[in-house]
Structure 1
Amino acid sequence: MHTDLVAALDIGGTKIAGALVDGDGAILVRAQRPTPAREDGETVMGAVEAVLGELTASPLWTRVHSVGIGSAGPVDASAGTVSPVNVPGWRGFPLVARVRAVTGELPVELIGDGVAITAAEHWQGAARGHDNALCMVVSTGVGGGLVLNGRLHPGPTGNAGHIGHISVDLDGDLCPCGARGCVERIASGPHIARRALDNGWRPGPDGDTTAAAVAAAARAGDPAALAAFDRAAQALAAGIAATATLVEIDIAVIGGGVGKAGDVLFAPLRRHLASYATLSFVQGLTVVPAQMGTDAGLVGAAAAALGRREGAAAAGV
């Protein structure tokens, strides 16, 4: 039984979740608020403070030694700021300083949400036991993170492994990030649905045009739906193979809503990967679905806070 705990925050455009987490990754206390994403920055921070208020009110709070935050990005861990695309009131918002102020100046570790999910999958999920891994979230956007040499590799600003913005199509569509042909522009849920619709797929009577509906149609054999998933799988394969070639990962873990599509995604993905990951040192690369589910962001934020403490202890030795 670990006597010391960490506080974890998982901040996204829909919800702000908080938890007290022990050294084994068990969630002992939870708190949550909807994200007032359309409001000004102080209102959003008010929701964060409400979540933290519930956590600090717990009798277990006295055992908390640090705080981990996984936030929608971009984040800048070196500056302690966040600028989530889907929370316009936060641009260069000093989240780390504000959280420290609320928590009695505890140390705070900030990482991007893709990196947080990577930390969770490496600690307790599908990447467990792998020293070199890429973990991806494929949903409304495409994010990710890296584990290298057995350690989370967030990079100086906390965004390393952001595979969604590797370009895999030199003359592809313009991405909102400013580049062309990004993985996200092809493989995200909305773009899978858009491609299927453009090529003749029609939703059922319920009018559902999500990637999940396209996946259902693909499983039933709809050619436009199958082609949209095949194109997404090809983009993901190119991005994963490029990453593996650069840093020698041996496993890629895929989560998020699109990652739940099953064989409709993974069968063409593995086929395309074989044609992109061709060099001898990446041929053993495996691709698997994520295991951590909805708590991944919280567990990963906790892992980052625990890792910070271990690093500090090691540095003191």
Structure 2
Amino acid sequence: MTSLALAVDFGGTKVEAGLVDAQGNVLPESRFRRPSGGGSTSEQLQAAVAGVVRDALSTLPDDATLLGAGVGSAGPIEVVGGTVSPLNVPAWRGFPLRDFVTQVVREIVPGTPVVLRMDGLCIALAEHWVGAGRGYDNVMGMIVSTGIGGGLIVQGMAVQGPTGNAGHIGHIEVGCFDDPCKCGGIGCVEAIASGPKTVDWAVGQGWVGSTGEELAAAYAAGDPIAHAAVARSGRAIGQAIASAVSLADIELVAIGGGFSRVTPDLFDMIRSAIAERAAFGFVTKVKVVPSALSDAGPLIGAAALVHRGELLTEV
């Protein structure tokens, strides 16, 4: 009998659900997604989450056992209460996402346990399990997309903190930048280097375009403003990673998310910024690599909350 986990990934652009087996494989026919955009109402967001959960569970094989449901959400979250307040989704402040998913799931599969954690931690779990972080005990997973998030595995265990928000690297402040952030900080890496913020900066410099895809094309065509925008983001990400490695002595950082693929050069820019810490070999040793999981990483990580639950500590 196949043992499966329901995985739910809620972010600032979309919510997705799917079924994942004990080897970290997402069943292709079980993947469903709906938009979750920042302009959505709470009712629209609830309908989107319930819709993808029901759609995914409708594909549950008759001979399979559903072990549980893992939910990864953009942060901040409050893991004890099971609530979420995604920075880029203003309609949800203290929304009880864990209880909401539990209600929907148990209408179909009674008694199913549901675990909620921050999406960045899920990414770290996924990379550590079946991605670029296999074989490493000290890993940071990062997403560079609509926002910037991250999570930590230290000495083989997930680092969560008392609220579940440990590893939220998107809100590390980096030097030489004064961009205001929605969190209230100044110079947070998310406010500088996320896809939308990089596009905004380029537009402010006179670039004509409106999306990350258009910026990538402009970069490939040699547009100097696009190059400056990507270089600025790469430096900011590199500085944030160097700070995180100084704090936690990480061995490997795996970066995914749509904007991380704007150009392969982005990774060279990140590594160059880290290399400036020349006197700290324990920082410059860190390997920074692309995610090995493509766009399946968030779902695999949410499923890891069930399949790899032994890596989680009680909060």
Pick the TM interval, shorter chain.
Answer: 0.7 to 0.9
Judged with a 3 Å threshold, the aligned counterparts in structure 2 of structure 1 residues 285 and 188 are, in CA distance, closer, same or farther, namely same
CA drift of 1:249 comes to: 0.3
Q: Residue 119 of structure 2: which of 101, 106, 113 is its match? A: 113
**SS of the residue 1:18 aligns to:** strand
Is 2:12 the counterpart of 1:32? Answer: no
For 1:220, the equivalent position in structure 2 comes to: 221
Is 2:82 the counterpart of 1:76? Answer: no
1: distance between equivalents of 2:219 and 2:84?
38
Is 2:160 the counterpart of 1:161? Answer: no
For 1:4, the equivalent position in structure 2 comes to: 3
1:40-75 CA distance string (max 9 Å, x none) = 434432333333333444344861121100112222
Counting aligned pairs with the same residue, the percent is: 43
CA drift of 1:81 comes to: 0.8
Judged with a 3 Å threshold, the aligned counterparts in structure 2 of structure 1 residues 61 and 98 are, in CA distance, closer, same or farther, namely farther
Unmatched segments (≥5 aa) in structure 1: none
2: distance between equivalents of 1:246 and 1:14?
31
Contact 1:15 1:32 survives alignment (8 Å): no
Letter in 1 for 2:249: E
Letter in 1 for 2:211: T
For 1:240, the equivalent position in structure 2 comes to: 241
Q: Which moved more, 1:231-240 or 1:150-159?
A: 150-159
Unmatched segments (≥5 aa) in structure 2: none
1:16-50 CA distance string (max 9 Å, x none) = 32222211112235152524655543443233333
Contact 1:69 1:109 survives alignment (8 Å): yes
1:109-131 CA distance string (max 9 Å, x none) = 11122222222222111222211
1: distance between equivalents of 2:77 and 2:63?
26
2: distance between equivalents of 1:193 and 1:39?
22
* Bigger Rg, structure 1 or 2: 1
2: distance between equivalents of 1:33 and 1:209?
24
2: distance between equivalents of 1:124 and 1:290?
10
Letter in 2 for 1:15: K
**SS of the residue 2:276 aligns to:** helix
1: distance between equivalents of 2:269 and 2:120?
23
1:226-255 CA distance string (max 9 Å, x none) = 222222111111110110010100111221
1: distance between equivalents of 2:285 and 2:14?
38
For 1:255, the equivalent position in structure 2 comes to: 256
2: distance between equivalents of 1:56 and 1:211?
33
2: distance between equivalents of 1:198 and 1:224?
10
TM-score relative to the length of structure 1? 0.86
**SS of the residue 2:89 aligns to:** coil
2: distance between equivalents of 1:61 and 1:97?
27
2: distance between equivalents of 1:14 and 1:56?
22
Letter in 1 for 2:66: V
Contact 1:219 1:264 survives alignment (8 Å): no
For 1:196, the equivalent position in structure 2 comes to: 202
**SS of the residue 2:174 aligns to:** coil
TM-score relative to the length of structure 2? 0.87
Is 2:307 the counterpart of 1:301? Answer: no
2: distance between equivalents of 1:269 and 1:99?
37
1: distance between equivalents of 2:91 and 2:61?
33
Contact 1:130 1:251 survives alignment (8 Å): yes
Q: Which moved more, 1:50-59 or 1:88-97?
A: 50-59
2: distance between equivalents of 1:214 and 1:188?
13
1: distance between equivalents of 2:34 and 2:194?
24
Q: Which moved more, 1:290-299 or 1:242-251?
A: 290-299
1: distance between equivalents of 2:40 and 2:266?
37
1:114-165 CA distance string (max 9 Å, x none) = 2222222221112222111112111221111111112222333332211110
For 1:93, the equivalent position in structure 2 comes to: 95
CA drift of 1:179 comes to: 0.7
Aligned length: 307
2: distance between equivalents of 1:193 and 1:299?
29
Letter in 2 for 1:275: E
2: distance between equivalents of 1:280 and 1:31?
42
2: distance between equivalents of 1:119 and 1:62?
24
2: distance between equivalents of 1:8 and 1:198?
39
CA drift of 1:307 comes to: 2.1
2: distance between equivalents of 1:273 and 1:242?
9
Contact 2:70 2:115 survives alignment (8 Å): yes
